Homo-oligomer: A and B are copies of this chain.
């Protein structure tokens, strides 16, 4: 394997393909065991090249988070795409264009939007009703079946609309810690969704599918009962997921290699070229204070385990300020590289815009310069 580190000059997003493919295989297997369709969320990797790894496993249905991401993956040959974001009226032309080309799925949570779609859609699409099972971001409340039923009725009136089911993202699972807590929340979500579905069936609606998507539940819990799983973050994981318990630190498949530009042994700190425009300002809680990444040493085959007690304590535009224990700091020189495991890999990928694999290949994303 070539040593990639001597070639690295600037903050560079490293991708451990072997670990990512292992994460992918493992999740595909979990979905199969649960008897659910696997519709992975591509907002994490955002890369047509990495999408091919999924096709290797005969995965043909995907999730994206925006219309332009749907356009990018449609250009890459994906024919079954769900945009898991509330339909944005202002992109109706782009949605009509996509719906004329591929099997498209949309999310709806309001009757106004249902009416807008009924009026403006020129091609058939699948629609999913977004349900809030407790995350309080978007969706109709799980305990308001009348509202869901009224929306479903509007959607059924749409000539171009195929009502598919109830979709949720149990984002509150990100605040849980450990399999027991995550799976208790997951069970609650499933009970809320299946209960709602049963009420709707009794009210005369056809049987609706259930689609769930949070990486903690999909990584840790028995997802039997769901018709579709849409996790995304599982491909790379990150420090936030490792804190939840969805993965081990060794499962984290991306790291940002950052040049050391200053050492401050008097306060146990190193400063790297690698800031908020590389890692994002998303954070995790470390003993009550925010931290923006964990710190590893480069190794011939990638990077080592996180250095105990080391973390990114601050980020500004280009600077990362790292706390390092005395013995680690003593081994680091200006000009060295350190590898940072990001707090949140999806945001880091968006910012970094391309990957360097451990074998030295550059993998572009939808945001890469042409």
Contacts and interface: CB of A to CB of B under 8 A. Distances in A.
Interface string A1-25: 0000000111000000000000000
Contacts of A266: 141
B86 A271 contact: yes
A89 to B, nearest CB: 4
A370 interface: yes
Given A9-B94, A280-B281, A370-B369, A261 B319 contact: no
Interface of A: 8-10, 43, 65-68, 85-91, 94, 109-110, 112-113, 116, 136-138, 141, 171, 259, 261-264, 266-267, 271, 273, 276-277, 280-283, 314, 316-319, 321, 333-335, 346-347, 350-351, 369-370
Contact of A10 (B9, B68, B141, B370): B68
A347 B317 contact: yes
Contact of A86 (B110, B113, B262, B267): B262
B171 A267 contact: no
B90 A335 contact: yes
A256 to B, nearest CB: 14
Given A9-B90, A138-B261, A369-B369, 18 more contacts: A9-B91, A43-B318, A85-B261, A87-B261, A88-B259, A89-B259, A90-B335, A113-B334, A116-B335, A136-B267, A137-B271, A141-B266, A276-B280, A281-B283, A281-B347, A317-B346, A317-B347, A350-B351
A88 B369 contact: no
A116 B262 CA distance: 13
A277 B347 contact: yes
Contact of A261 (B10, B88, B276, B334): B88
A265 to B, nearest CB: 11
Of all A-B residue pairs in the complex, the 5 with the closest CB atoms, nearest first, are: A89-B335, A86-B261, A281-B281, A9-B90, A277-B350
A26 to B, nearest CB: 23
A357 to B, nearest CB: 20
A333 B317 CA distance: 35
Given A277-B347, A317-B347, A333 B112 contact: yes
A275 to B, nearest CB: 9
A85 B319 contact: yes
Contacts of A9: 88, 90-91, 94
Given A261-B87, A280-B281, A351-B351, A137 B316 contact: yes
Which has the most chain B C-beta neighbours within 10 Å: A91, A283, A347? A347
Contacts of A334: 89, 110, 112-113, 116
B137 A321 contact: yes
Contacts of A264: 138
Nearest to A136: B267
27 contacts: A9-B88, A10-B66, A65-B317, A65-B318, A66-B318, A85-B261, A85-B273, A85-B318, A86-B261, A88-B259, A89-B259, A89-B334, A112-B334, A112-B335, A116-B335, A136-B267, A137-B314, A138-B264, A138-B271, A141-B266, A171-B316, A277-B347, A281-B282, A317-B346, A350-B351, A351-B351, A370-B370
A63 to B, nearest CB: 12
Contacts of A137: 271, 314, 316, 319, 321
